[in-house]
């Protein structure tokens, strides 16, 4: 069945450093790859997404890269700030609209 | 964006009882889904709520345990039946908005604790 593997499960960085989270997927029909940020006690919020017709997308300090051949995609956060501390989830989707989520990465940014 | 309201936001329930969660969206919606998030875990898709017809359930979830209704485009209910402590979770309604780019947005979630 569909499977999304996310690594690492926890990540601790110093403020100002970069953070990278990686996901691999199994379903070759996947064509939509969003990333969500979930702060403690809150709902998941979409922060960036990419579709399979592009390889990279950037929005200020965050970027996502996609390698469809290798079936993996990554989230890059530069110049991390304490407010970036949260749980980040990758997901994959196809034409049905439903998403399959990775296991999540707890990011801690130390001041 | 849209306002996706869920009720109740939280509840404490007794084993063996059932609880219905409501989801109301203030914009037109193309697709609605229900997810479960167990404590400290990821999001697991329960089912796709289909307007005017039976929901489409994912592997491991059945209609008798999680009956879902979607009488119109913007409203859906999820019932958690015959609850046990293992059902203690956050249940999240999620939608794809009409006229959007296909992004999935989440309601605030309903946190259920089963004693």
Phi first, then psi: what are they for B87, rounded to 5°? Answer: -85, -5
Residue B36 in contact with residue B90, Cβ under 8 Å?
yes
Residues of chain A in contact with residue B33, where contact means CB-CB under 8 angstroms, are 97-98
Tell me: the pLDDT tens digits for A22-79? 999 999 999 999 999 999 999 999 999 999 878 999 999 999 999 999 999 999 999 9
Mean pLDDT of B95-111: 92
Per residue in A7-25, pLDDT (tens digit) is: 999 999 999 999 999 999 9
The predicted pLDDT at position B100 comes to 83
User: Measured between alpha carbons, how far is A71 from B108 in angstroms, rounded to an integer?
Assistant: 31
8 Å CB contact of B30 and A102? no
Percentage with pLDDT > 70 across chain B? 100
Residues of B in contact with A93 (CB under 8 A): 102, 104
Task: Return the number of CB contacts < 8 Å for A and B.
Answer: 46
Asked whether A67 and B9 are in contact (CB, 8 A), the reply is no
The number of CA neighbours under 13 Å toward the Cβ of A2 is 17
pLDDT at A95: 81
B6 close contact with A: CB closer than 8 A: no
Indicate if the pLDDT at residue A1 is higher than 80: no
CB B36 within 8 A of CB B60: no
Cα torsion A54, A55, A59, A63: sign: positive
Q: Can you give the pLDDT at residue A2?
A: 76
Distance CA B19, CA B99 (A): 33
Q: What mean pLDDT is reported for chain A?
A: 95
Non-local CB neighbours of B79 within 8 Å, separated by 6+ positions: B18, B19, B20, B21, B66, B67, B68
Residues in A touching B9 (Cβ below 8 Å): none
Question: What letter does residue B99 receive in the DSSP assignment?
Answer: T
pLDDT digits (tens, 9 = 90+) for B35-91: 999 999 999 999 999 998 999 999 999 999 999 999 999 999 999 999 999 999 999
CA angle A17, A22, A24 (to 5 degrees): 175
B1 and A CB contact within 8 Å = no
- CA dist A107 and A13 (Å) reads 8
Percentage of chain A lying above the pLDDT 90 cut:
87
Q: Is A35 helix (H, G, I), strand (E, B) or coil?
A: strand
The predicted pLDDT at position A48 comes to 97
Q: Is B67 helix (H, G, I), strand (E, B) or coil?
A: coil
Q: How far is A45 from chain B (nearest CA, A)?
A: 7
A43 contacts B106? CB cut-off 8 A: yes
Q: Name which of A103, A75, A110 is nearest A9 in CA terms.
A: A103
Mean of pLDDT over chain B: 95
Determine the pLDDT at residue A53. Answer: 78
- Give the minimum alpha-carbon distance from B41 to chain A in angstroms, rounded to a whole number: 7
> Which of B96, B103, B106 has its CB closest to that of A49?
B103
CA B49 to chain centre: 9
- pLDDT over 90 (residue A96): no
């Amino acid at each position: 069945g569909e499977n999304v593997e996310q690594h690492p499960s926890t990540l601790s960085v110093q403020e100002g450093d970069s953070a990278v989270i990686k996901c691999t997927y199994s379903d070759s029909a996947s064509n939509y790859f969003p990333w969500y940020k979930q702060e403690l006690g809150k709902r998941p919020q979409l922060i960036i997404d990419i579709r399979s017709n592009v390889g990279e997308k950037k929005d200020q300090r965050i970027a996502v890269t996609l390698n469809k051949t290798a079936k993996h995609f990554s989230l890059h956060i530069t110049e991390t700030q304490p407010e970036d501390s949260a749980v980040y989830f990758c997901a994959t989707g196809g034409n049905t609209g439903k998403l399959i989520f990775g296991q999540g990465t707890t990011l801690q940014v130390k001041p | 964006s849209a306002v996706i309201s869920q009720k109740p936001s939280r509840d404490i329930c007794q084993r063996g009882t059932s609880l219905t969660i409501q989801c109301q969206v203030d914009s037109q919606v193309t697709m609605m889904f229900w997810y479960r998030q167990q404590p400290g875990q990821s999001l697991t898709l329960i089912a796709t709520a289909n307007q005017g017809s039976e929901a489409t359930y994912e592997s491991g979830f059945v209609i008798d345990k999680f009956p879902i209704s979607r009488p119109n485009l913007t409203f859906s209910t999820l019932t958690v039946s015959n609850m046990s402590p293992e059902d203690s979770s956050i249940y999240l309604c999620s939608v794809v908005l009409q006229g959007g780019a296909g992004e999935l947005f989440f309601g605030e979630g309903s946190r259920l604790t089963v004693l």
